[in-house]
Amino acid sequence: MGLISNGTTIFDNGSMASGFGSSLNFISKATASASASIEFSLGDYKEYQFYFVNMHPQTDNVKFEFNGSIDSGSNYNVVKTTTMIDAYHSEGGAYGVLAYGGLSLAQSTAFQNLANDQGNANDENVGGYLHLFNPSSTTFVKHFIASTSRTAFNDVSAQQHYGGYFNTTSALTNLKFQMSSGNIDAGEILLFGVN
């Protein structure tokens, strides 16, 4: 028995149809080692997927954050409107919270937070993803969604969800990731493009 969606065969007799899933393309991997920031150039993919693996800050109690550029990385100051939900629980079990976060932006050129209160102990890091939609459009704003999981400096396990848009009809040419203070001590960012 096969699996068919909207007239397209996805699985048939246990085998995946040829060409299915071929639109996801690995672009690059950046490995941080006491890096001030990590920058990526963007092109014409309809969607970019960034995956954060064991992002570890040099400095304790910092934010992992990003911003976009419309001028090939000369400036990272694109206006954004964003929203954020935060869920966290203390390691000792004393409390847990689900809340609308105060790290949302309203028509701001500031860097957008992806994980706050990040700890720099040997076992503390950030993992997650960012999806950016149609950044090369010169007609529409550029939407994004993100989710991260982290171990905070105060022994809290937290997950944050973000959504928003770069409020520009100019093409985004670059994205930059950094810690709000100090270097990215270690970690990897994987970049994929979707046709």
Per-residue model confidence as pLDDT tens digits over 114-172: 999 999 999 999 999 999 999 999 999 999 999 999 998 988 899 999 999 999 999 99
In a domain, 20, yes or no: no
Tokens of 142: 């550029």
Count helices and strands (H / E) in the chain: 0, 15
In a domain, 59, yes or no: yes
Instruction: Give me the domain span that covers residue 153.
Output: 32-48+55-194
pLDDT at residue 47, rounded to an integer: 98
In a domain, 107, yes or no: yes
In a domain, 22, yes or no: no
Regarding pTM above 0.85, the answer is: yes
In a domain, 5, yes or no: no
Is a pLDDT exceeding 60 seen at residue 15?
A: no
Q: Are 105 and 81 in contact (CB under 8 A)?
A: yes
Is a pLDDT exceeding 70 seen at residue 11?
A: no
In a domain, 140, yes or no: yes
Number of folded domains that form the chain? 1
Tokens of 53: 């693996």
In a domain, 182, yes or no: yes
In a domain, 75, yes or no: yes
pLDDT at residue 22, rounded to an integer: 54
Q: What is the layout of strands, in order, in the sheet containing 3-5? A: 3-5, 8-12, 15-16
Is a pLDDT exceeding 80 seen at residue 178?
A: yes
Confidence of residue 92 (pLDDT cuts 50, 70, 90): confident
Q: Measured between alpha carbons, how far is 112 from 97 in angstroms, rounded to an integer?
A: 22
Share of the chain above pLDDT 70, in %: 89
CATH number for 104:
2.60.120
Lowest mean per-residue pLDDT among 6-10, 23-27, 133-137, 172-176 = 6-10
Q: Find where tokens 């964003």 sit.
A: 82
pLDDT at residue 7, rounded to an integer: 64
